[in-house]
């Protein structure tokens, strides 16, 4: 993979390029019994015993599919999209002896044919059991398995510490299985630009395109993460790699083998803002820590647990939380109706409350969408937001408004207003919008407050 020479800013590499943001590392609950190598002989010890245990369960994943691609040149002559063969190469890990394999969502997304090659060069066709875009994890089932396959144990106990040795095993650049070593550089890394509900393990073990979906292994030979992306200027490893933690991997695997078609992530029903240094001083805190609660969903889990505006959430089940992404991750790895312990600072005093996390309210089904038949937004398919729908679209569950689905290409909503799929119409002429019916028969000159990919702007019906 190559990055243009003019691209001097760091980029986030998955199957392609992403957009980096400042990231945050948070402390968690980890073991304190690690021992530093005591002599030169210990430093020269081989990783071979760990590799012998782990490598047989790491596989190569190749996928092919057909996608509709629009050629800019031929589009000038009126030709539409044409079918084009596309391919993807990555890695995976066998986590069940009957052939259940974990890989990255972006390795198999949009692909129709998937082939998995084992460490001993045996090949199997595979089908997708569950693909979860939010975590970038997909679960595959190998076809025709008639024996027990080697597996890696998913270790989700979170006993790692920064500085622990780890191995990355995968298929970089498609050259074949490769092992690299490094250390854990950070834990609970959030705000990476990968996921709004992700909390990643950062490592300096060399990870390159093709390693996606491969194993991050500790010195016990256990799977502690699935390698998913790198932070790089060149497109190759710069020593900043990210892995989806085992807790999130297990959540997706359990959902898949349990017959679920989607991962149901519960919520606490609170929204907050990271405590800055200035906020810490105003709140009388010794240091900037936690997430100050700014919204509480009425009758939601947090409300029923008596969480209040102004509370500072510092930890979930003992694991430190410092931003919304960290909170979302901690809660999202639980099952609906499980109870979590929420550590809070209220008026400077610490307390712990128990909250039973639950499914997000509302319906994520889009079958009830309404197509506007008249007025300035004719041709737009719209649906009122609710927490479950907003979350399924990768948005803020607390958001209100009407989300835009398909927009007919020759409609006035597209040509005259500029609406796009995924837009959230929040207000019309400064009046909040909560129902699709409010968007029917809009006259010329109407001003729409629209949120698009996190940015707000005004569109005018002309």
Active site residues: 106, 136, 212
Compute the distance between CA of residue 403 and CA of residue 414 in angstroms, rounded to an integer. 15
Element (H, E) at 455: strand 455-460
* Torsion angles phi and psi, residue 217, rounded to 5: -120, 140
Compute the distance between CA of residue 94 and CA of residue 92 in angstroms, rounded to an integer. 7
Task: For residue 206, give the DSSP letter.
Answer: -
The CA-based dihedral angle spanning residues 430, 436, 441, 445, taken in that order and rounded to the nearest 10 degrees: 30
> Six-digit token pair at 409?
């290409």
Task: For residue 350, give the DSSP letter.
Answer: E
Alpha helices in 290-404 (DSSP H): 301-304, 324-332, 387-392
Compute the distance between CA of residue 426 and CA of residue 438 in angstroms, rounded to an integer. 11
Q: Which of 459, 406, 322, 449 is nearest to 26 (CA)?
A: 322
Burial (0-12, 13-18, 19+ Cβ within 10 Å), 137: buried
> Angle at the Cα of 31 (from 27 to 32), degrees rounded to 5?
95
């Amino acid at each position: 993979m190559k990055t243009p020479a003019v691209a001097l800013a760091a980029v986030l590499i998955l199957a392609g390029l992403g957009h980096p943001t400042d990231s945050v590392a948070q402390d968690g609950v980890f073991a304190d019994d690690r021992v530093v190598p005591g002599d030169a002989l210990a430093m020269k010890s081989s990783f071979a015993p760990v590799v012998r245990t782990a490598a047989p369960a790491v596989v190569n994943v190749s996928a092919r599919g057909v996608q509709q691609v629009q050629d800019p040149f031929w589009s000038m002559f009126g030709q539409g999209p044409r079918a084009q063969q596309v391919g993807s190469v990555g890695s995976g890990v066998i986590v069940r002896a009957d052939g259940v394999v974990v890989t990255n969502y972006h390795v198999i997304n949009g692909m129709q044919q998937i082939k998995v090659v084992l460490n001993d060069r045996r090949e199997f066709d595979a089908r997708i059991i569950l693909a979860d875009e939010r975590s970038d994890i997909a679960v595959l089932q190998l076809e025709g398995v008639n024996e027990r396959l080697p597996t890696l144990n998913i270790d989700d106990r979170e006993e790692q510490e920064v500085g622990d040795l780890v191995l990355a095993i995968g298929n970089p650049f498609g050259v074949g299985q490769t092992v690299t070593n490094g250390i854990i550089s950070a834990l609970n890394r959030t705000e990476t630009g990968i996921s709004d509900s992700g909390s990643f393990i950062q490592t300096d073990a060399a990870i390159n395109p093709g390693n996606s979906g491969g194993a991050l292994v500790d010195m016990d030979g256990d799977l502690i993460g699935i390698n998913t992306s790198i932070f790089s200027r060149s497109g190759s490893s710069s020593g900043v790699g990210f892995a989806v933690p085992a807790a999130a991997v297990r959540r997706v695997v359990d959902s898949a083998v349990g017959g679920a078609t989607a991962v149901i992530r519960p919520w606490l029903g609170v929204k907050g803002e990271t405590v800055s240094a200035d906020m810490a001083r105003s709140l009388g805190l010794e240091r900037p820590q936690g997430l100050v609660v700014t919204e509480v969903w009425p009758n939601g889990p947090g409300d029923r647990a008596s969480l209040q505006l102004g509370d500072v959430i510092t930890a979930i089940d003992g694991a430190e939380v410092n931003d919304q992404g960290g909170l979302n991750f901690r809660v999202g790895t639980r099952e609906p109706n499980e109870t979590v312990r929420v550590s809070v600072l209220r008026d400077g005093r610490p307390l712990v409350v128990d909250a039973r996390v639950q499914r997000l309210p509302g319906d994520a089904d889009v079958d009830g969408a309404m197509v506007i038949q008249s007025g300035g937004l004719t041709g737009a398919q719209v649906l009122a937001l609710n927490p479950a729908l907003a979350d399924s679209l990768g948005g803020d569950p607390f958001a209100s408004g009407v989300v835009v689905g398909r927009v007919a290409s020759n409609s006035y909503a597209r040509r005259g207003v500029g609406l796009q799929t995924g837009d959230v119409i929040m207000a019309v002429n400064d009046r909040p919008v909560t129902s699709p019916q409010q968007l029917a028969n809009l006259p010329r000159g109407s001003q729409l407050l629209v949120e698009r990919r996190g940015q707000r702007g005004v569109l005018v019906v002309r």
